[in-house]
């Protein structure tokens, strides 16, 4: 108990930890919200491009202030430089992908590595004048957050959140249906630029904490995690912010306990969180998907049950069904029978199962499909011993018009190759009833 | 027909729109009266979507003008409600049926305010008009094709515009669903809406629409289906693919 208290409380008393917590949470809060839009608009690569472009901006801002005013490492200038570099990169990407045949993803890759390389070269050429630690830049240093960085992230966080809240509807509409948005006179282009601006500000303020490489993760991973859990944009944004904050808190503790790199620990926690949600999310998770697939009863099994009961021409016990119906898994037959009972295709009697009126019609349709397929197979010269098994597989293909086509083509035969009567077309086919669409549940 | 009665809902005058040297539309003039269900037909690349974009005010015409209710299209933003093609929508977007319908009201809500109770009411009303109120809380990806189409129709109705523009609403839905959508279109028409529908299927065009616009770069015909669906006209517009349509015309005649 004492140990636990120590593990959680002790770091909180340290100033560096408090600063990291405050700064990290401020950035995570807003990057989750804005990241939701980035994820939905498929702009994830853009976040990466922006962060890489930054180094050129930082170097430019540093250099300009030093040469013009002799001021060392003036933070606002470096921030402004980053923003300018980010905007230039985005503009370059837009122009080049529009006027050349090179596609946008490639252009993004070219531009951001190019601008990043420019920054690296500039920093190393002017290493006597400007003192930028490239490693710090690339990896970030959430445990060494300076007060100016704290202020910067607080201001960015507050202003971007304000913009997102005020213009939530506009961003929602422009992201979901830009054509409709434009048709109602919404300035879609301005909104696009505003969003890009917001993303740039968030990226710039996050780089000092988690570094160039990991910043895109902080932008999109919490948002993607929330995406798996939400059916509304406002909810997704709120959840994404929450997941961002939990990643920062969890990551920071992880980093203190394991004595690891701060940015790495935060993103690791964030990714694990995503994987956990991916596994267990109630609707869009893997577990839910697996369970849905497992509970789905193949149409083929249903039809095989129908036709088996029809052929028996009396109440059929489950044992007989097991003999004739092939199932993918042991439990499926039982589930299929239960479902068919509730759908009113068969009814259970003490001696076994019996077809209802509807079930009988459907069974007749499957039988008709089977016997017509047999006739067809015989007519194209299929060996006699292969006719029945092949038709047994093909009988499940009886969608719109297929069986009627066979019927027409074969000249509406009365009997199949084995001399058995082909049932006439009934109207109990498992088709959607007219005017009434299939509903889930 | 109500020729010359009042201002037309949409009036296109000598519209030419070009991309580079090739005009997408050449000298197209159409006068669509109010309370009509109008189909726009023509082969792929015939300028149907350019016409739609022009009516929405997205295209800058080289020559000509478009009047919406007697007003220039650029000043009539929001007066034409647009229903996108099903393929153009991200069905995984986290948004519910209710929210999509409410989007129709956004243009009437100032940016500093939230949608009012009246706006929410109007959105619900539009949903009930397309019989989708029971699905209000569903995410849009969980609906069937026809239901999805109806939700967007509800959004267009909630916009309160008198003119609805639909881009291939019948694409990729089964026959029963097609009827259900048509039913909603008919009711919107009865409620005083003018509907312009881009349509692909010549076989059903005659049955569905009051008037047809036959387009291939220029306007080949505009009028009641019987006048537009002439073999001679269609053979000009559809060129090599005529054989299919002659069969079809024979069937039409037999009905």
Kindly identify which residue of chain B lies nearest to residue A434, measuring between CA atoms. Answer: B176
Helices vs strands, H then E, count in chain B: 9, 10
Cα–Cα dist B235/B214, whole Å: 12
Asked whether residue A45 falls in the same domain as residue A142, the answer is yes
Q: Does A292 reside within a domain?
A: no
Q: Which of B80, B73, B41, B44 is nearest to B59 (CA)?
A: B73
pLDDT at A7 over 70: yes
A439 and chain B: CB distance < 8 Å anywhere? yes
Domain that includes residue A400, residue range: 299-409
Q: Are strands B10-19 and B63-68 parallel, antiparallel or unpaired?
A: antiparallel
Which of A213, A232, A266 lies at the terminal end of a domain, its last residue? A213
In this prediction, residue B249 carries a pLDDT of 57
For the ranges A218-232, A413-427, B140-154, the lowest mean pLDDT is seen at: A413-427
* Per-residue pLDDT tens over the stretch B2-20: 444 578 899 999 999 988 8
Q: Which of B77, B93, B139 sits opposite A176 (nearest CB)?
A: B93
For the ranges A9-13, A235-239, B131-135, the lowest mean pLDDT is seen at: A9-13
Tell me what the mean pLDDT of segment A208-236 comes to: 92
Tokens of B196: 């312009």
Tell me what the mean pLDDT of segment B197-217 comes to: 90
Tell me what the mean pLDDT of segment B120-133 comes to: 93
Cα–Cα dist B12/B67, whole Å: 6
Give B243's pLDDT tier (boundaries 50, 70, 90): low
B78 and chain A: CB distance < 8 Å anywhere? yes
Whether A231 and B94 lie within 8 Å, measured CB to CB: yes
Chain B hits for A172, Cβ within 8 Å: 95, 103
Cα–Cα dist A339/A176, whole Å: 39
Cα–Cα dist B220/B114, whole Å: 47
Tell me what the mean pLDDT of segment A296-307 comes to: 83
Whether A235 and B94 lie within 8 Å, measured CB to CB: yes
Q: What is the DSSP letter of B111?
A: T
- Where is B205: in which H helix or E strand? helix B202-208
B23 phi and psi angles, rounded to 5 deg: -75, 135
Q: Which of A292, A83, A169, A182 is nearest to B99 (CA)?
A: A169
Tell me what the mean pLDDT of segment A318-338 comes to: 82
Mean pLDDT of chain B: 87
3-state secondary structure of B170: coil
Indicate whether this complex's ipTM tops 0.90: no
| The three-state (H, E, C) secondary structure of A344-377, written as one string | CCEEEECCEEEECHHHHHHHHHHHHHHHHHHHHH
The alpha-helical segments, DSSP class H, found in A259-412 are 262-280, 286-295, 299-312, 318-324, 332-342, 357-379, 384-394, 402-409
* Per-residue pLDDT tens over the stretch B47-102: 898 999 899 988 888 999 999 988 898 888 889 999 998 888 999 999 999 999 99
In this prediction, residue B248 carries a pLDDT of 58
Whether A183 and B174 lie within 8 Å, measured CB to CB: no
In this prediction, residue A436 carries a pLDDT of 40
Half-sphere exposure of B165 (CA within 13 A, CB side): 24
CB burial of A401-431 (b: ≥16 within 10 Å; e: otherwise) equals eebeebbeeeeebeebbeeeebbeeeeebbe
B190 and chain A: CB distance < 8 Å anywhere? no
Tokens of A291: 């369970």
Q: Does A4 reside within a domain?
A: no
Cα–Cα dist B53/B175, whole Å: 28
Tell me what the mean pLDDT of segment B189-207 comes to: 89
Mutate to test the interface with A, among B86, B93, B164 (most CBs of A within 10 A): B93
- Which residue bears the tokens 């086509």? A405
pTM: 0.81
Whether B179 and A180 lie within 8 Å, measured CB to CB: no
Q: What is the DSSP letter of A316?
A: B
**Minimum distance, in Å, between the CA of residue B229 and any CA atom of chain A:** 28
Judge contact between A50 and A212, C-beta under 8 A: no
CB neighbours of A111 closer than 8 A, spacing ≥ 6? A49, A53, A89, A92, A93, A96
For the ranges A209-213, A397-401, B61-65, the lowest mean pLDDT is seen at: A397-401
Cα–Cα dist A56/A50, whole Å: 11
Q: Which of B98, B95, B159, B150 is nearest to B124 (CA)?
A: B98
Longest dimension (CA), chain A: 103
Judge contact between A372 and A406, C-beta under 8 A: yes
B167 and chain A: CB distance < 8 Å anywhere? no
Whether A231 and B144 lie within 8 Å, measured CB to CB: no
* Per-residue pLDDT tens over the stretch A343-366: 888 888 888 888 888 888 888 888
Asked whether residue A208 falls in the same domain as residue A327, the answer is no
| The three-state (H, E, C) secondary structure of A201-267, written as one string | HHHHHHHHHHHHHHHHHHHHHHHHHHHCCCCCHHHHHHHHHHHHHHHHHHHHHHHHHHCCCHHHHHH
Cα–Cα dist A348/A154, whole Å: 68
Judge contact between B222 and B214, C-beta under 8 A: yes
Mutate to test the interface with A, among B54, B94, B144 (most CBs of A within 10 A): B94
pLDDT at A430 over 50: no
B227 and chain A: CB distance < 8 Å anywhere? no
Tell me which range, A82-86, B88-92, B167-171, is most confidently predicted by mean pLDDT.
Answer: B88-92
- Which residue bears the tokens 């097991």? A322
Strand partners, B83: B166
Number of domain units in chain A: 2
Give A435's pLDDT tier (boundaries 50, 70, 90): very low
A231 and chain B: CB distance < 8 Å anywhere? yes
Judge contact between A18 and A12, C-beta under 8 A: yes
A385 and chain B: CB distance < 8 Å anywhere? no
Q: Which of A172, A175, A180 sits opposite B84 (nearest CB)?
A: A180
Give A267's pLDDT tier (boundaries 50, 70, 90): very high
Kindly identify which residue of chain B lies nearest to residue A223, measuring between CA atoms. Answer: B94
**Minimum distance, in Å, between the CA of residue A386 and any CA atom of chain B:** 35
Kindly identify which residue of chain A lies nearest to residue B175, measuring between CA atoms. Answer: A434
Mean pLDDT of chain A: 86
Better pLDDT: B60 or B121: B121
Tell me what the mean pLDDT of segment A94-112 comes to: 89
Task: Output the CA angle A326-A328-A329, nearest 5 degrees.
Answer: 110
Q: Which of A182, A236, A438 sits opposite B94 (nearest CB)?
A: A236
Whether A183 and B176 lie within 8 Å, measured CB to CB: no
B73 phi and psi angles, rounded to 5 deg: -60, -35
Burial of A134 from C-beta contacts in 10 A (0-12 / 13-18 / 19+)? middle
Chain A hits for B56, Cβ within 8 Å: 179, 182-183
A230 and chain B: CB distance < 8 Å anywhere? yes
3-state secondary structure of A396: coil
Judge contact between A400 and B176, C-beta under 8 A: no
If phi over 0 gives left and psi between -120 and 50 gives alpha, with beta otherwise, what is residue B212?
Answer: beta
Q: Does A206 reside within a domain?
A: yes
Q: Is the dihedral of CA A137, A142, A148, A152 positive or negative?
A: positive
Which of A178, A194, A213 lies at the terminal end of a domain, its last residue? A213
Asked whether residue A195 falls in the same domain as residue A316, the answer is no
CB neighbours of A80 closer than 8 A, spacing ≥ 6? A57, A61
Q: Is the dihedral of CA A233, A45, A264, A88 positive or negative?
A: negative
Cα–Cα dist A31/A215, whole Å: 9
Give A420's pLDDT tier (boundaries 50, 70, 90): confident
Tell me what the mean pLDDT of segment B194-199 comes to: 94
Asked whether residue A38 falls in the same domain as residue A182, the answer is yes
CB neighbours of B24 closer than 8 A, spacing ≥ 6? B17, B18, B47, B50, B217
Q: Which of B186, B238, B192 is nearest to B207 (CA)?
A: B186
Judge contact between A104 and A214, C-beta under 8 A: no
Mutate to test the interface with B, among A170, A183, A229 (most CBs of B within 10 A): A183
Which of A163, A193, A213 lies at the terminal end of a domain, its last residue? A213
In this prediction, residue B244 carries a pLDDT of 55
B50 and chain A: CB distance < 8 Å anywhere? no
CB within 8 Å of chain B, chain A residues 16-75: 40
Asked whether residue A201 falls in the same domain as residue A350, the answer is no
Mutate to test the interface with B, among A164, A167, A169 (most CBs of B within 10 A): A169
Q: Does A107 reside within a domain?
A: yes
Kindly identify which residue of chain A lies nearest to residue B114, measuring between CA atoms. Answer: A169
Q: Which of A233, A433, A438 sits opposite B94 (nearest CB)?
A: A233
**Minimum distance, in Å, between the CA of residue A438 and any CA atom of chain B:** 7
Give B242's pLDDT tier (boundaries 50, 70, 90): low
Tokens of A104: 């946008």
CATH number at residue A393: 1.10.10.10
Alpha carbon separation from B22 to A199, A380, B18, B62, B126 (Å, rounded)? 39, 52, 6, 12, 41
Domains of chain B in sequence order:
1-79+163-169+190-255 (3.40.50.300)
Tell me what the mean pLDDT of segment A268-296 comes to: 92
Asked whether residue A209 falls in the same domain as residue A303, the answer is no
B49 and chain A: CB distance < 8 Å anywhere? no
Mutate to test the interface with B, among A186, A437, A441 (most CBs of B within 10 A): A437
**Minimum distance, in Å, between the CA of residue B95 and any CA atom of chain A:** 5
Q: Which of A179, A233, A440 sits opposite B82 (nearest CB)?
A: A179
In this prediction, residue A429 carries a pLDDT of 41
A273 phi and psi angles, rounded to 5 deg: -60, -40
Better pLDDT: A53 or B123: B123
If phi over 0 gives left and psi between -120 and 50 gives alpha, with beta otherwise, what is residue B33?
Answer: beta
Judge contact between B16 and B44, C-beta under 8 A: no
Counting one residue from chain A and one from chain B, the pairs whose CB atoms sit within 8 A come to 85
For the ranges A166-175, A310-319, B73-82, the lowest mean pLDDT is seen at: A310-319
Cα–Cα dist B68/B89, whole Å: 26
Q: Does A234 reside within a domain?
A: no
Asked whether residue A89 falls in the same domain as residue A200, the answer is yes
Q: Does A395 reside within a domain?
A: yes
Chain B hits for A230, Cβ within 8 Å: 94
In this prediction, residue A381 carries a pLDDT of 83
Half-sphere exposure of A404 (CA within 13 A, CB side): 7
Cα–Cα dist A345/A372, whole Å: 23
């Amino acid at each position: 108990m004492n140990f636990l208290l120590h593990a959680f409380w002790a770091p909180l008393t340290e100033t560096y930890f408090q600063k990291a917590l405050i700064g990290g949470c401020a950035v995570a809060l807003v990057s989750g919200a804005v990241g939701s839009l980035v994820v939905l608009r498929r702009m994830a690569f853009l976040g990466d491009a922006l962060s890489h472009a930054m180094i050129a901006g930082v170097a430019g801002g540093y250099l300009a202030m030093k040469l013009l005013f002799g001021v060392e490492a003036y933070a606002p200038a470096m921030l402004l430089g980053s923003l300018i570099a980010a905007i230039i990169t985005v503009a370059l990407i837009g122009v080049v992908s529009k006027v050349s045949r090179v596609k946008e993803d490639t252009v993004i890759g070219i531009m951001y590595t190019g601008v990043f390389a420019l920054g690296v070269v500039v920093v190393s050429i002017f290493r006597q004048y400007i003192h930028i630690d490239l490693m710090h830049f690339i990896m970030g240093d959430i445990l060494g957050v300076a007060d100016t960085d704290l202020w910067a992230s607080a201001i960015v966080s507050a202003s971007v959140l304000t913009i997102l809240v005020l213009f939530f509807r506009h961003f929602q509409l422009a992201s979901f249906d830009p054509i409709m948005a434009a048709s109602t006179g919404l300035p879609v282009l301005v909104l696009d630029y505003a969003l890009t601006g917001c993303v740039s500000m968030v990226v710039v303020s996050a780089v000092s904490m988690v570094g160039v490489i990991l910043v895109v993760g902080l932008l999109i991973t919490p948002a993607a995690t929330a995406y798996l859990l939400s059916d509304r944009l406002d909810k997704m944004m709120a959840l994404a912010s929450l997941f961002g904050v939990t990643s920062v808190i969890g990551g920071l503790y992880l980093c203190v306990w394991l004595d690891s790199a701060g940015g790495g620990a935060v993103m690791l926690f964030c990714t694990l969180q995503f994987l956990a949600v991916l596994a267990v999310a109630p609707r869009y998770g893997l577990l839910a998907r697996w369970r849905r697939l497992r509970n789905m009863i193949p149409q083929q099994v249903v039809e095989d049950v129908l036709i088996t009961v029809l052929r028996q021409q009396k109440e059929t016990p489950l044992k007989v069904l097991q003999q004739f119906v092939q199932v993918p898994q042991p439990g499926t037959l039982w589930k299929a029978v239960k479902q068919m009972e509730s759908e009113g295709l068969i009814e259970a009697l003490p001696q076994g199962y019996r077809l209802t009126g509807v079930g009988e019609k459907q069974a007749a349709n499957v039988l008709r499909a089977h016997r017509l397929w047999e006739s067809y197979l015989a007519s194209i010269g299929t060996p006699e011993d292969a006719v029945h098994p092949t038709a047994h597989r093909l009988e499940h293909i009886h969608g719109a018009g297929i069986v009627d086509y066979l019927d027409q083509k074969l000249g509406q035969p009365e009997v199949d190759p084995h001399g058995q009567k082909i049932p006439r077309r009934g109207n109990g086919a498992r088709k959607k009833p007219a005017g009434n669409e299939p509903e889930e549940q | 027909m109500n020729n010359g009665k009042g201002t037309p809902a949409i009036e296109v005058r000598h519209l030419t729109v070009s991309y580079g040297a090739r005009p997408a539309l050449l000298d197209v003039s159409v006068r669509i009266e109010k309370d009509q269900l109008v189909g726009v037909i023509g082969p792929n690349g015939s300028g149907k979507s350019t016409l739609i974009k022009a009516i929405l005010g997205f295209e800058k015409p080289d020559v000509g003008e478009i009047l919406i209710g007697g007003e220039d299209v650029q000043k009539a933003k929001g007066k034409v409600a647009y229903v996108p093609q099903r393929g153009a929508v991200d069905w995984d977007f986290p948004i519910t049926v209710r929210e999509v319908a409410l989007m129709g009201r956004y243009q009437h809500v100032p940016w500093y305010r939230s949608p009012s109770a009246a706006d929410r009411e109007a959105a619900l009303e539009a949903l009930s008009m397309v019989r989708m109120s029971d699905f209000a809380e569903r995410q849009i990806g969980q609906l069937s094709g026809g239901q999805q189409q109806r939700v967007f129709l509800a959004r267009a109705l909630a916009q309160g515009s008198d003119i609805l523009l639909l881009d291939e609403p019948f694409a990729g839905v089964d026959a029963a669903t097609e009827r259900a959508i048509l039913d909603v279109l008919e009711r919107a028409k009865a409620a005083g809406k003018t509907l312009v529908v881009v349509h692909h299927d010549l076989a059903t065009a005659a049955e569905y629409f009051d008037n047809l616009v036959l387009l291939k770069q220029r306007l080949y015909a505009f009028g009641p289906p019987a006048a537009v669906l002439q073999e001679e006209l269609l053979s000009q517009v559809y060129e090599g693919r005529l054989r299919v349509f002659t069969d079809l015309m024979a069937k039409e005649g037999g009905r």
